[in-house]
Amino acid sequence: MPIQEQHVQREDPPPFRLDVQLHDLLTKAPAPRPQLLPSNGDGKFPEPVFPQHPDLLAQDDNYEENLASAKAGKRHWNASLVYRAVNGWMFPYMKSRVLPGPFHPIIAYLFTEWKCNLDCHYCWAFDNSVKGMTEEVAKRSIDWLHSTTCRVLAFMGGEPLLRPQLIHKASYYAAKKGFWIYLPTNARLLRPDVIDRLADSGVAIFNFAVDAVDEKPGLAKALTPVRKYFDYLIRKQYKYGYAVFFNINICRNNLEDVKQLTEIARDHGIATDYHLNESPMIEQDHFKHYDENDTFIHPQDFAKVDELVDWLIEKNKSGYKMVNSVKRLQDMKAFMRGKVEPWNCRAGQNSIIIRVDGTLAPCFPMYSATHDWGVIENHKFEVPQLNEMKKSCQTHCFSTLNHNLGFCYNDTRVLKWVMKQAGHGFQGVSGSFA
């Protein structure tokens, strides 16, 4: 019996969310994966200097005073950090509005790994049989992105810190080229010496992914096993000038943990970003936990999740720092019930992903699609194909980044944001204009 029908019979979440017709179109493309052309360069990053900023390494953290300012919403950003954020987001946006043609990436996700050291039961975004990105492909990717409008580089996996030296080299190289760098991690390998190196190289944001306070079945991303690393990371953020936020996936079995993590973030003056656990957009052959998955949200959980979302909205309104707007939090309830209104997805035009082998796709949910969108140095994104595809996938998709990007891809909203920032000396600039 097809897996889709088995899941309907058992009332499990479906194995993929796309309409069957589009799913088949995107995953049964007859063409083999496109290949990269041979490289002209030596394929190596320059050896990063460390420390580039010995003064920062030696400087007192001044943590308590800075934490008090951050909690009062008055974190100080010096001129070079403000410039780093504006250069990463604002200038590429402006260029994308005035340059001819439809392909002007603002943010790129560089999948340096498709392996992971953990096994979160909802996660299909790793396969430990797949080799990581070579140094050559990573360097060529950054060089190619630099030749476009893109100046926001997000490392992705799997777990990017499986090879901390590669990430250090890549972030050092990219920061020198003016990229604003974003690092998501499960933090198991985020040792203090790794934090110092990455911060010194220019990482702007650490996305600290955590789903529970203590590890529980199916949810491996817990705070307790990495508590020492977390404490070090948040102490050093003010002197290095990076920001930290918790990235929390709301599952059926961590509703209390979500509240506790929210309060811990609040106590430490950092923001939170929430996602709603979802089954894969596209069926994943390598995903082991389709059956009897304790993390997926079922209809009988909706009321409890609604209650949690209402709690989060209240906290948001009372001043807790959150990446999600009140509207986005509210929309989670409808998404959980399978309702998403069409929206302005910019994937494939202003945001892209680069897979470990250098092939391209518009977004993370499409990582496993076999459709040919080209390779670095030779993209094949075409607006008619993207538009046709999005007629269907937008109504199944809750991608936070792409929703934020779509919402902000609007001159009036951007202008308002700039005026607001200018009004308080750009001291609210911590990254995106979402």
C-alpha closest to that of 289 among 276, 277, 274: 277
Question: Any contact of residue 106 with ligand SF4 (CB under 6 A)?
Answer: no
- The answer to whether residues 291 and 274 touch, using CB atoms and an 8 Å cutoff, is no
Amino acid identity at 36: L
Contacts of 35 (CB under 8 A, 6+ apart): 375
Positions in 355-384 near ligand SF4 (CB under 6 A) = 362-363, 365-366
Residue 419 makes CB contacts below 8 A (sequence gap 6+) with none
DSSP symbols for 166-178: HHHHHHHHHHHTT
Among 7, 75, 221, 239, binds ligand SF4 (CB under 6 A): 221
Place of tokens 């993370």: 364
Q: How many residues bind ligand SF4, per CB under 6 A?
A: 26
According to the binding rule CB under 6 A, does residue 347 interact with ligand SF4? yes
| List 397, 405, 408, 429, residue binding ligand SF4 (CB under 6 A) | 397
User: Are 377 and 157 within 8 A, CB to CB?
Assistant: no
Q: Which stretch binds ligand SF4 (CB under 6 A): 34-42, 88-96, 377-385, 388-396?
A: 388-396
Distance CA 383, CA 81 (A): 35
Cβ 125 to ligand SF4 shortest distance, Å: 5
| Residue 123 binds ligand SF4, judged by CB under 6 A | yes
**Interface with ligand SF4, residue 393, by CB under 6 A:** yes
Member of 118, 130, 255, 434 binding ligand SF4 (CB under 6 A): 118
Measured CA to CA, the distance from residue 304 to residue 31 in angstroms comes to: 45
Tell me the window of 74-82, 114-122, 293-301, 418-426 that interacts with ligand SF4 (CB under 6 A).
Answer: 114-122
Considering only residues 251 to 290 of the shown chain, the ones binding ligand SF4 according to CB under 6 A are 281
CB of 246 to ligand SF4, least distance (A): 14
C-beta closer to ligand SF4: residue 86 or 401:
401
Burial of 114 (0-12, 13-18, 19+ CB in 10 A): buried
| Residue 390 contacts ligand SF4 per CB under 6 A | yes
Give dist(CA 331, CA 309) in Å, integer: 10
Strands (E), 210-348: 243-250, 271-276
Alpha-carbon distance of 361 to 270, in angstroms, equals: 32
Minimum CB separation of residue 205 from ligand SF4 in Å reads 17
Nearer to ligand SF4, 70 or 363 (CB): 363
Least distance CB 323 / ligand SF4 (angstroms): 17
In whole angstroms, the minimum distance from the beta carbon of 378 to ligand SF4 comes to 20
Alpha helix locations (H) across 130-191?
135-146, 164-176
Give me the residues that bind ligand SF4 (CB under 6 A), please: 116, 118-120, 123, 125-126, 157-159, 186, 209, 221, 281, 345, 347, 362-363, 365-366, 390, 393-394, 397, 399, 402
